[in-house]
Amino acid sequence: MLFDKEMETMPFEEREKYYFDEIKKIVIHAYANAPAVRKKFDEAHFDPVQFKTIQDLNKIPIIKKEELKEAQRKAPPFGGYLGVSMDDLQRVYVSPGPIYDPEEKGHQRLSEAKMLQAHGFGPGERVIVTLSYHMVPAGLLFDKAIRETGALVIPAGIGGTELQVQVIKDLQVTGYIGTASFLMNLIRKAEEKGHAIPGDFPIKTALLTAERVSPEIRRILENDYSIHTWQGYGTADIGLFAYECERDSGMHLSDDVYVEIIDPNTGQSVEPGETGEVVVTHFNKAYPLIRFGTADLSYLGTSPCQCGRTSPRLMRIVGRVGDSFKVRGLFIHGSQVQEALSPIPDIAGYSMVITASGKGDELTVRVELADQESNRGELEPKLIQRIKEICGPKTDRVEFVDRGVLGAEPKPLIDKRRWD
């Protein structure tokens, strides 16, 4: 199931040298070509000439998502982080924020193809992609990767549950790429229409990505519907860069990134097995993100994997740093919730709460009214629309609570999901 045996089974010492060489190249390139990176290095008194070991990465400040967003707002479109000319680009993706993510001409990214082949995607398979093809990179990246493995791709995109069920039945689709919650929606719709599973719904393998997958949903898919599931992990800015193998022993890191686990308080690397923030250096000259903080918490495993791959592995995502959380494939920031709800004069206090059930992630907005006589029936759809426009995901419910229930300074965004 190896896509590139030489690279994926590289001995440890050789892999360490490979990482050092690639990091040094991207550090030198970024300093010379990306003004924001050069400014960041200079402020930290770091000269690329000083880069002698991988540990020297600790001298470079971490780039935060909010910092990247602010840099692009001040100096659109890329905030000084573009490492090539605009004429060298073939696509620009737009992530919520907005944040612009460039893609260089001739860009060949095979990480996703390696992930897919690891789980049997290849000639004869028919794979439906239910991630967005609009603005964000997910759909197009997987579309290319599926074709690289020799499988047939059905570019379904998001939404249209009833039509997608029909497509899966008519084309006898065997593979699925998308969120776990949408796959559950497809299964429920198929059952509502009286389709036999697996006969009329022949999906047997599913790559679940873009949102946290609860153990409960995974057990349902595996045990009740005999769908082999596995997970990929990444960000819109980097793409997918970690994936489970058939041994289910963590997520292997792709070869075009170097991942550190960083103590959020000190900014320094921690040892394998210790929990910290996932920080990524991407070997991408067009968009040289060096020490990009994902705000996800995880830990690394470095023991040999029985699958034969020698890359380090993210063992699992155990939580988040700060006030931004991923919900149904989209990040929501506390500042976005504030932007959506603070201007509404009827509201005295608010807090958006993220929970999870067997159906997936759920969003509840808890609201304290400035005037208890306010028309709640008119206000509720207004709140839902504002949140949808600014934050992205749809709100499941609005709860109006008494004054004081949320406390003196309620957090705009609270994640109550369990990560174990």
Q: Is the peptide bond before 98 cis (omega within 30 degrees of 0)?
A: yes
pLDDT of residue 264: 82
pTM: 0.77
Quick check: helix, strand or coil at residue 123? coil
Instruction: Give residue 110's pLDDT.
Output: 66
Cα 38 to its chain centre, rounded Å, is 27
Burial of 254 (0-12, 13-18, 19+ CB in 10 A): buried
CA distances (Å), origin 152, targets 60, 126, 368: 43, 5, 51
Q: Where are the beta strands (DSSP E) in 124-218?
A: 126-129, 152-155, 175-178, 205-208
Gap between the Cα atoms of 117 and 379, Å rounded = 50
Burial of 351 (0-12, 13-18, 19+ CB in 10 A): buried
> Would you state the pLDDT for residue 1?
65
- Specify the DSSP class assigned to residue 98: T
pLDDT score at 107: 77
pLDDT of residue 252: 92
Q: What is the pLDDT of residue 212?
A: 76
φ/ψ region of 378 (left if φ > 0, alpha if ψ in -120 to 50, else beta) reads alpha
User: What does the alpha-carbon distance between residue 342 and residue 350 come to, in Å, rounded to a whole number?
Assistant: 9
**Per-block mean pLDDT, blocks of 10 residues, the chain (420 long):** 80 94 97 97 94 93 92 96 97 89 83 79 95 92 91 96 97 96 96 94 94 83 94 87 86 93 84 90 96 91 88 85 76 82 90 86 92 90 90 90 88 81
Q: Which two three-digit tokens encode residue 260?
A: 């550190």
The pLDDT score that the predictor gives to residue 128 is 98
How buried is 418 (Cβ within 10 angstroms: 0-12 exposed, 13-18 middle, 19+ buried)? exposed
Class of 326-415 per CATH? alpha beta
Q: Tell me whether the omega of the peptide bond preceding residue 77 falls within 30 degrees of 0, making it cis.
A: yes
**Type of residue numbered 156:** A
Of 235, 277, 243, give the one whose Cα is nearest residue 260.
Answer: 277
Give the pLDDT of residue 124.
95
SS3 at position 73: helix
- For 169, the token pair is 């039945």
Structure token pair of residue 142:
């997987």
Residues of the chain with CATH 3.30.300.30: 326-415
CA angle 17, 21, 27 (to 5 degrees): 140
Domain 111-234 carries which CATH code? 3.40.50.12780
- Helix intervals (H) in 171-315: 180-192, 215-219, 225
Which residues have CB under 8 Å from 200's CB, separation 6+? 169, 190
Picking from 293, 233, 291, the residue whose alpha carbon sits closest to that of residue 264 is 293
Give the right CATH number for 5-109+256-322 from 3.40.50.450, 3.40.50.12780, 3.30.2290.10, 3.40.120.10.
Answer: 3.40.50.12780
Q: Which residue's entry shows tokens 């609270």?
A: 414
Q: CATH 3.40.50.12780 region(s) of the chain?
A: 5-109+256-322, 111-234
- Provide the b/e sequence for 192-210 (b: ≥16 CB within 10 Å): eeebeeeebbbbebbbbbb
Measured CA to CA, the distance from residue 411 to residue 140 in angstroms comes to 36
Closest CA to 248 of 286, 278, 208: 208
Other Cβ atoms less than 10 A from the Cβ of 114: the count is: 24
